[in-house]
Homo-oligomer: A and B are copies of this chain.
Amino acid sequence: MAVKQYTDVLPVVMNNDVVKNVAGRVMIGKEDGAENFCMRVFEMAKDGHTPKHAHDWEHEIFVHTGHGEVLMNNTWHPLSPGSTVFVPPNAEHQFRNRNDSLFTFVCLIPSGVAEL
């Protein structure tokens, strides 16, 4: 079905030393017939974070709920609903949430570069 609600899709929960308190879902990907780019939705609970890392593909991000932060150019930038972030290829970046409320964001990548 082409129309879904992200909360109706079972998430992959990541909670280890590298990725903490994060639930991720592929909402639109190759299985849906999307050949060019892939939409994932991530929920990050309090004290959650992604790794500080870089890779040779870009991210296009839209913040749906909550108040997180993104590390880019060695500076933490605050994010709120309606924020957009472009992470260029090979740019070091990290996301974190230090608030009680769930930080929810959409993150798009080119097709085929990552499993989630």
Interface residues in A30-69 by Cβ distance below 8 A to B read: 32-37, 39, 41, 58, 60, 62, 64
Q: What is the size category of the interface that chain A forms with chain B?
A: 35 or more
Q: Is the CB of A82 within 8 A of B7?
A: yes
A85 within 8 A of B: yes
Contact with A87, one of B2, B5, B6, B91 (Cβ below 8 angstroms): B2
**How far, in angstroms, from A86 to B107 measured CA to CA in the complex?**
15
Interface residues in A72-116 by Cβ distance below 8 A to B read: 72, 77, 79-88, 91, 106, 108, 110
Contact with A5, one of B3, B5, B80, B110 (Cβ below 8 angstroms): B80
Q: Is the CB of B33 within 8 A of A88?
A: yes
Q: Is the CB of A108 within 8 A of B3?
A: no
Q: Is the CB of B2 within 8 A of A85?
A: yes
**How far, in angstroms, from A77 to B106 measured CA to CA in the complex?**
21
Q: Is the CB of A62 within 8 A of B84?
A: no
A14 within 8 A of B: no
Q: A64-B64, A108-B60 are in contact. Are A3 and B83 (CB under 8 A)?
A: yes
